[in-house]
Structure 1
Amino acid sequence: MKAIETLSHAGDNILSRFRDFSPARKAAAVAGASALGLAGAYVLDVWTLGTAAAWLHGLGTWLKGQSIFATSAEKAAAAHAFDAVSWYWHHPFSTARAWLTGSELTNPGHRKVWLYLHGFAALGAFSWWLGRRYHGGTGWSGIRMKPGDATHGSARWAETRDLARVLDFGFGPGILLGKHKNKPVRIPQKLKARHNKNVLVIGSPGCGKSYSYVRSNIFTAVRGGESIIVTDPKGELYRDMAAFLKSKGYVVKVLNLVRMWESHVKNFLDEIRTPLDADVFAQVVIATTEGGPKKGGDGFWDRAEQNLLKALALYVCYDENGDRRRGTMGEIYDLIASGDKDAVNRKFEKLPPKHPAYGPYMISKMAGENVWGNIIIGLGTRLQTFQQEEVRRITEASEIDLNLPGKEKCAYFVITPDTHPAFNFLASLFFTFTFIRLIEQADANKNGRLNVPVKMLLDEFANIVSIPDFEKKIATARSRGIECHVIIQSLPQLIRVYGRDSWQEIRACCSTVVVLKVEDDYTADYVSRQLGKTTVETSNRSREIRPLTGPAIFDERENRSVTARPLMTPDEIIRMPASQCIVFLPSPNDRERVPALLSTLGYTEFPEAAELSTCLQEHEPEMPVYPDELATERWIPVQPVTPTPEDVNHKQIEPVEAEPPILPSETPAGTDPENEMQNVNIEKETEPTETGTGRTAVPW
């Protein structure tokens, strides 16, 4: 394997140098290479076919000597019939010079047999060419294609010369697609045509998307020195690849939302650097969470909850003077769940009007009592995952730097549960702010691109994460050095998540489409239409039986005509073996776009596969140190009252006295918080849910 890799690198170097030659040097190089190639081919031909000709000539001499009619001279010649074979095998250059210059030959019969062999070979090649032209080269038996005839359609499969216009052969950096004639084919890092590096991969469950595409392209990213961001629903990619990537100098981080004790921590409020970032933060959370059943409103409740969430986020991130401080999403939930409306109002009323949280909160405060309570309940329901201590822990600090992948080699793994969507909003926040930070970083560079390209391998894209406005992000990220690999199970899955309009925008932003395996009719019909129609030849045979007195008993006729046929029908696409894949290649600059029928290439065929080892260990987060003036105490939520059935029926619940927690910044020097704050009565009432159980409501 190392020898193959060395030859591949040498070939790539030769081709890259050849492209830099001037036209005159290219012509001279081609002429010299052609002359050497012809000379080598002639010597090889004489060596192989010449030896075969000597053996055949000797066989004829030996058979003639075995005849009962053979003369004594023929019998003597038969005894040494094969002596010349060894000489021809060991002296190819002498034979080539003698046969080329017409030197006097000891036995010219050998040369005649050699010429006859060339005649038979030419006849066989001509017959093969006719058969291939007649039957076509589809790879599907029973289909007679008409190459060059576009009467009813011109679709065809890509050949080696078509692949060479946009792809490179052999292992190396870039985007691996599969293999053609047992050679790996990949989109090179330096593109040969004007297209993007975004790829849409379609494959039904169990077809080997991770085995033959994701892992393989992690290897190609390592070869190209690219950063990697991978969605890993099963956690197997991180387990198998982490140690290998660390050995290659990568900064490896994992956001594990399944086994949170093995996760690095990430506080997404650290990404709020401006009020605009708070808008994005609130929009993503509202768009990717469920706030419980709503009645009418035309999106009113979502917008109201988004505005309140923005206000709370800005409040915990900025102190009264507008200076940045550390805030966590757990603090936001504690504010909502405290149940003390008056205390929270006083906190916001103490803010100066120019504070970024003041305006959004005052707008929310204008809602009536009933509306305000519903807004609080809805937002609290969306953030109820912060009742779990593990969720609070992994969002309290930041070990994952979203700017770093554009500066140095990084490998970030995002592990989300594929059985429930409870933590999907955290993954959505991760990818949303990753796009924002990387694009900002690229725009700050003089060339408008990242210093280190970033490859995003979004496995199970439609199942585990929903990225708001992804169709816009994938369209604009390509020019910044970010390539997105959208990996789905079927097109209906993508339509379900992103809608009938947005999914087509996502598809249009992907110059390359890889179809590994299809099981549904919708995707099969789409792929068949995209492949197009080709012109095929059909034949109809008829046989007429005539009376015995006629000139012939049977009269057989054959009519041939051309018609249209899909390059592959939907049922053929569904029945396609798992070892093959369909690839819609990017368009060459001056050629038509031709689909390719390739073989899949498993990651185990890479030389790097031998370096893999399992890496699975618990992770202790490295908590960052904040300056004292930026530190805040965590809000301690008031314990809710659990009402009894009698209380619910009579609407009578004893009030509970509780002290609202106070931030250090709100406690004046020399004062006692206990004397400054009054006890607040908190009423709790229970509302029925769809499941029939009660939930605690906050009557704000």
Structure 2
Amino acid sequence: MNLTYILILVVLGIFLLVFVYIEPMLAKHKIKNSNEYGSARFSTFKEVQKIFDKENVGHIKNVGFPIWFDKNLKTVWMDKETPHWVYLGSTGSGKSVTQVIPYCSFLSSAETKRSAFITDPKGEIFATTSKMFQDRGYEVITIDFRNPEKSNKLNILEPIIKEYEEYMYYDKIKDTDISFNNMAISHLAETNRLITSLSEMIMKEKVEAKDPFWNNSARQLLEGLIGFFLEEYKLGNINREQITMTSIRKFQNSSMAEKNFAKFKEYLETREYGTKSKDSLTSIITASENTYKSITSVWGSKMSLFDDVNVANVTSISDFDFGILGKKPTVLYVIVPDEDKTYFTLVTVIVGLLYRELVKVANSMEDKKLPVQIDFILDEFANCPPLSDIEAIVSVARSRGMRFHFFIQSFAQLDNVYGKDVAQIILDNCGLVYLKTNTQETAEAISKRLGKRTIEQSSVSQSISLTNYNGNKSTSLMARDLLTPEEVKQLHYKMIIFPIIGFPIFRDTILYKKFSCYKKGMIDRTINSLKDLSYTYFTVENIKYEIKNKRGRFRDRLTKENQQMIEEKLENERNLFKEVEEILKEVLTNKEYKVDYDECNNRAFMKINVDNLDNGTLIKVKNKIDNEKYHIENSKQDNTTIIEVHFKSAF
């Protein structure tokens, strides 16, 4: 009997062990082959092999984003379809050593060469990749605001000056052929577009301000001053090297003195409407004193970075052409002190100017693509002021051969600069690479983007007595995040890749030193002497040498060179009236008349005196001449009719 009880107790013990401990452990979470509550998952290696292009790490033909590597790091599968990429990584996520430098290694060693534009706040990328690029046939250029004595030079007004010089050339000969006239107008229009674009990049605030008046007015002030400097250059009053942002900054500072302001205002009155300076500056300098001071205060806060001696030296002149990046393999590093956010304005400006120049190069090609395509690798992208027309850039850049890599620390950072709507447009046009986050909001966004999967959950209930056992097991389906926000935050040395096509990819991050195509080294750069650039400044005080008499006629205010240009212009206009003379010969047959030429506001007009002219003949003259090109006025003195023929463009 005792043996029977012992056996019963042993059996009950086994049941207790199985149902109380072992079964719940085995049935805790089982993935069921069902998608009822979600089908999220990561890509399999077979899918990676099927979707993406296989390349040999040691001999890459065409570079793309590295999706997957074999265990020996000899083979890489690359995404060549996703147009642009956003990299999400907080401080310490290893963006440089696991993303930028490896990509530079693949880029430089590829058979099909692409240029690269790299923002490099610490100078780390330049130090680790510049020799590699140079040894592989690249031209290496640096814009270095940390070490300006070693930097290349870039006058950010250079594209504007070059466009305006094209206008100046065609403007001189525009009356000789209609095509030259059209070219002059086209180049002037493009000059004004470039001026507006540059001014907006410098003056634009992160996200639209509640009252945009002050920033818009500051932008208008900058537009007008750039236009004023160009016009002074055309008149021969300043030379080319005086057209810099630092010189414009000094000019505006000098105009704040009461005497100088009155002088500048009076000098501006000599300009004609239709000039950039007159059109943009009139409403600014005629504003009330308090309004004007507020506008110049906003303007000064944005332009103060050009007071920096380092910035002034680097932006004083240009020693390379932006277009080279679209024509031959070139890498351009922009090194800015990341401890001072004001320098990031220059990054936005340089990217914007380079993009526009490369679009021009692409548009000049038959296939509308760059001969040498380019990658923009923009570290600290969301620390820079907003890039104008970023929505259009991410939509059309790829078609012209440009690929962008945007590095940000969080989604909120991008929203803060561009606003939620524009930030979403950027994300919609890019693949996403997640590296690391410390913020709950970003972790939740990544978890949500990964989606949910369906899991099977089992539960067991039982009741046991010495004589009876009752057990019950139930199974249910439920949804679970592929990765919860907490799991996302706890990832280390891992990355999640969201390409435009396919499921997300989950893999290890890999240090640049492990790739056979990486070669260490930094190029040597020439050390140049920094300059005192005060000799290049043009201030209001300098204007006095051009003004002869405060109440003198407009012509007396101009330099001899400008006077000569006006005389040539008047002579050309007088020649254009030859067709009117032919009409007069036809209509005024048997009439006594005399033709003279005069001028008004530096525009030539024709003056005809006709004796005893009847109304019928006068109407014929008007009908023949008064058209889209000419405007006629007539008056009568005794028996003489006076007819004036003006160009309509003079009104």
Same fold (TM > 0.5): yes
1:522 and 2:407 are equivalent in the alignment:
no
Partner amino acid for 1:262?
K
1:264 and 2:179 are equivalent in the alignment:
no
The counterpart of 1:279, out of the listed 196, 216, 221, is: 196
Counterpart for residue 314 of structure 1: 227
Q: Output the TM-score relative to the length of structure 2.
A: 0.68
Counterpart for residue 90 of structure 2: 204
Counterpart for residue 443 of structure 1: 363
Q: 1:162 to 1:345 in 2, by over 3 A?
A: same
Partner amino acid for 1:302?
N
Inter-partner Cα distance in structure 1 for 2:230 and 2:535: 13
Q: 1:248 to 1:280 in 2, by over 3 A?
A: same
- The one of the two structures with greater contact order (alpha-carbon pairs below 8 A, sep at least 6) is 2
Partner amino acid for 1:151?
E
| Offset, 1:336 | 0.7
Q: 1:278 to 1:542 in 2, by over 3 A?
A: same
Contact 1:232–1:416 (Cα < 8 Å) also in 2:
yes
Q: CA RMSD in A?
A: 3.2
Counterpart for residue 507 of structure 2: 598
Counterpart for residue 618 of structure 2: none
Contact 2:28–2:457 (Cα < 8 Å) also in 1:
no
Q: 1:342 to 1:662 in 2, by over 3 A?
A: same
Over residues 388-427 of structure 1, what are the superposed CA-to-partner deviations in whole Å (9 max), with x where a residue is unaligned?
3322211110124221111111101112222222222222
Partner amino acid for 1:576?
L
Counterpart for residue 683 of structure 1: none
1:328 and 2:217 are equivalent in the alignment:
no
| Offset, 1:509 | 0.7
Counterpart for residue 17 of structure 1: none
Counterpart for residue 613 of structure 1: 521
| Offset, 1:188 | 4.1
Inter-partner Cα distance in structure 1 for 2:462 and 2:306: 81
| Offset, 1:364 | 2.3
Over residues 72-107 of structure 1, what are the superposed CA-to-partner deviations in whole Å (9 max), with x where a residue is unaligned?
xxxxxxxxxxxxxxxxxxxxxxxxxxxxxxxxxxxx
The counterpart of 2:491, out of the listed 556, 576, 583, is: 576
Q: Output the TM-score relative to the length of structure 1.
A: 0.64
Contact 1:255–1:413 (Cα < 8 Å) also in 2:
yes
Inter-partner Cα distance in structure 2 for 1:246 and 1:405: 14
Please state whether the residue corresponding to 1:422 is helix, strand or coil: helix
| Offset, 1:663 | 7.2
Partner amino acid for 1:479?
S
Inter-partner Cα distance in structure 1 for 2:288 and 2:219: 17
Partner amino acid for 2:314?
I
Inter-partner Cα distance in structure 2 for 1:426 and 1:261: 18
Contact 2:385–2:417 (Cα < 8 Å) also in 1:
no
Counterpart for residue 381 of structure 1: 301
Counterpart for residue 124 of structure 2: 236
Please state whether the residue corresponding to 1:383 is helix, strand or coil: helix
Q: Which moved more, 1:538-547 or 1:209-218?
A: 538-547
Counterpart for residue 66 of structure 2: 177
Q: Which moved more, 1:273-282 or 1:558-567?
A: 558-567
| Offset, 1:463 | 2.2
Over residues 206-254 of structure 1, what are the superposed CA-to-partner deviations in whole Å (9 max), with x where a residue is unaligned?
1211111111111121114110111111111112211221111111111
| Offset, 1:467 | 1.8
Contact 1:146–1:535 (Cα < 8 Å) also in 2:
yes
Please state whether the residue corresponding to 1:544 is helix, strand or coil: strand
Structure 1 unmatched runs, 5+? 1-140, 291-295, 588-592, 624-631, 639-657, 671-700
Counterpart for residue 74 of structure 1: none
Inter-partner Cα distance in structure 2 for 1:154 and 1:282: 49
Please state whether the residue corresponding to 2:366 is helix, strand or coil: coil
Please state whether the residue corresponding to 1:445 is helix, strand or coil: coil
Inter-partner Cα distance in structure 1 for 2:307 and 2:529: 20
Counterpart for residue 218 of structure 1: 104
Contact 1:636–1:661 (Cα < 8 Å) also in 2:
no
Over residues 56-81 of structure 1, what are the superposed CA-to-partner deviations in whole Å (9 max), with x where a residue is unaligned?
xxxxxxxxxxxxxxxxxxxxxxxxxx
Q: 1:320 to 1:608 in 2, by over 3 A?
A: closer
Contact 1:197–1:483 (Cα < 8 Å) also in 2:
yes
Inter-partner Cα distance in structure 2 for 1:316 and 1:235: 35
Contact 1:475–1:509 (Cα < 8 Å) also in 2:
yes
Inter-partner Cα distance in structure 2 for 1:353 and 1:165: 64
Inter-partner Cα distance in structure 2 for 1:392 and 1:434: 20
Inter-partner Cα distance in structure 2 for 1:392 and 1:448: 36
| Offset, 1:519 | 2.0
Q: 1:564 to 1:381 in 2, by over 3 A?
A: closer
| Offset, 1:301 | 1.9
State the identity %: 24
| Offset, 1:153 | 1.2
Over residues 307-331 of structure 1, what are the superposed CA-to-partner deviations in whole Å (9 max), with x where a residue is unaligned?
1111111121233647994511122
Counterpart for residue 605 of structure 2: none
Partner amino acid for 2:406?
V
Partner amino acid for 1:275?
N
Over residues 26-75 of structure 1, what are the superposed CA-to-partner deviations in whole Å (9 max), with x where a residue is unaligned?
xxxxxxxxxxxxxxxxxxxxxxxxxxxxxxxxxxxxxxxxxxxxxxxxxx
Q: 1:663 to 1:523 in 2, by over 3 A?
A: farther
Partner amino acid for 2:507?
L
Please state whether the residue corresponding to 2:342 is helix, strand or coil: coil
Inter-partner Cα distance in structure 2 for 1:664 and 1:256: 41
Q: 1:426 to 1:662 in 2, by over 3 A?
A: farther
Counterpart for residue 562 of structure 1: 477
Instruction: Give the count of matched residue pairs.
Output: 482
Counterpart for residue 586 of structure 1: 500
The counterpart of 2:450, out of the listed 531, 537, 562, is: 531
Counterpart for residue 646 of structure 2: none
Inter-partner Cα distance in structure 2 for 1:411 and 1:370: 47
Partner amino acid for 2:253?
A
Partner amino acid for 1:330?
T
